[in-house]
């Protein structure tokens, strides 16, 4: 049976969004590694790089929201709400970006992607702590399997660096906490932020939070590095890629689904591991791949379970709506029959 042109067009567009997101995510990760790695561009200032990204994204987001008015700002975003809810999320985002970018100085791209497989474990554990998730023994067993797989991958890592691992684990913990807080603080208040409005509100906050550690840790070293000249082409294109990635996330999730993004993320991770091994010449051992394979299966099962839960919830919602519709139709039918009966009795009385 031949597919209609409309179906083929929708599938092609979905694959195009996936390809754009994978390409931009791939580019940002490799570009950051290139800039920060002492063996490559040799500019080991992760806080400075993150601040450049935030300044660039803040400026573009302001232009799109306030000047060009492409996106409407959140009308219910009061000063009190911003300080209470958005500022903590911005602080966690700043810490997550700072730590994850710092890890590129010490760890290979492939190993960082393997450590990122712990994200579902962190999100689920924090969800239970904040009572946003229900403890289930089979889900916890799956989390243990993911953790075991990552531990095996770490054991087989040829360029293992303890400080780098701590940085990446910290980045995972901060990012997981940020995601849980978004669910608690923003979703519960009925506020939804797309990537542009997210950057409009969060990026300036991130920049402000990073300015203190930057002044203490990196500014003195940058002042001493008199030979450094700001390369507008390198940092400009790097920041543009970071901003474009946020838009690609919005397009991918908005036009397909969050599950599609998760599946695409798995494909991206394997591509990055292959790229890290073949092009950057990072060492990827069989133990690395075996451990990550276990973690990958655990993450795949976690995504599958989430999809099934979403389908069950949607079916229950549809069934409830249908049941409500049946009840409403029944009431209308009863009212109609009652009205017809009254009219019949009235006509009978008139005849008599």
Higher pLDDT, 233 or 185: 233
Q: Which two tokens stand for residue 225?
A: 């590095």
Is the model more confident about 101 or about 4?
A: 101
CA distance 346 to 352: 10
Higher pLDDT among residues 349 and 171, named by residue: 171
Q: Is the pTM higher than 0.85? A: no
- What digits encode the pLDDT tens for the residues 156-212? 998 899 999 999 999 999 999 988 888 887 777 777 778 888 889 999 999 999 999
341 band by pLDDT with thresholds 50, 70 and 90: low
pLDDT category, 227, cuts 50, 70, 90?
A: low
Structure tokens at 202: 């969060």
Please tell me the distance from the alpha carbon of residue 47 to that of residue 63, in angstroms, as a whole number. Answer: 24
The sign of the CA dihedral 306, 293, 253, 255 is negative
CA distances 219 to 45, 48, 134, 317, Å, are: 9, 8, 45, 55
What single-letter DSSP state applies at residue 256?
Answer: S
Q: pLDDT tens digit string along 61-82? A: 999 999 998 888 888 888 888 9
What is the rounded distance in angstroms from the CA atom of residue 213 to the CA atom of residue 211?
6
Name 174's Cβ contacts closer than 8 Å, sequence gap at least 6: 92, 93, 95, 96, 99
* pLDDT for 351 beyond 60: no
d(CA 246, CA 264): 15
């Amino acid at each position: 049976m031949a597919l209609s042109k409309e179906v083929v067009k929708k599938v092609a567009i979905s694959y195009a969004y996936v390809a754009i997101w994978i390409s931009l995510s791939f580019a940002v990760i490799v570009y950051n590694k290139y800039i920060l790695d002492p063996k490559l561009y040799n500019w080991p200032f992760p806080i400075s790089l993150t601040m450049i990204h935030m300044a660039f994204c803040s400026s573009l987001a302001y232009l799109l929201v306030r000047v060009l008015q492409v996106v409407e700002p959140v009308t219910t975003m009061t000063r009190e709400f911003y300080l209470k809810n958005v500022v903590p999320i911005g602080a966690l985002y700043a810490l997550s970006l700072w730590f994850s970018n710092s890890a590129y100085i010490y760890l290979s791209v492939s190993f960082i992607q393997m450590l990122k497989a712990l994200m579902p474990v962190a999100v689920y554990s924090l969800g239970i702590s904040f009572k946003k998730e229900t403890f289930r023994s089979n889900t916890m067993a799956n989390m243990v399997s993911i953790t075991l797989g990552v531990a095996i991958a770490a054991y087989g890592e040829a360029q293992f660096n303890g400080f780098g691992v701590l940085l990446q684990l910290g980045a995972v913990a901060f990012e997981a906490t940020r995601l849980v807080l978004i669910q608690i603080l923003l979703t519960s208040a009925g506020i939804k932020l797309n990537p542009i409005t997210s950057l409009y509100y969060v990026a300036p906050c991130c920049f402000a939070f990073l300015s203190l550690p930057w002044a203490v840790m990196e500014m003195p070293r940058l002042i001493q590095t008199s030979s450094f000249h700001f390369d507008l082409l390198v940092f400009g294109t790097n920041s543009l890629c970071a901003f474009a990635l946020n838009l690609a996330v919005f397009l991918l999730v908005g036009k397909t689904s969050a599950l599609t993004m998760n599946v695409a993320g798995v494909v991206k991770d394997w591509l990055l591991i292959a790229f890290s091994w073949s092009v950057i010449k990072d060492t990827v051992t069989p133990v690395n791949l075996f451990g990550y394979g276990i973690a990958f299966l655990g993450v795949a099962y976690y995504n599958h379970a989430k999809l099934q839960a979403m389908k069950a919830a949607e079916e229950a919602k549809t069934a409830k709506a249908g049941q409500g519709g049946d009840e409403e139709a029944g009431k209308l039918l009863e009212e109609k029959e009652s009205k017809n009966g009254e009219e019949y009795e009235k006509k009978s009385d008139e005849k008599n």
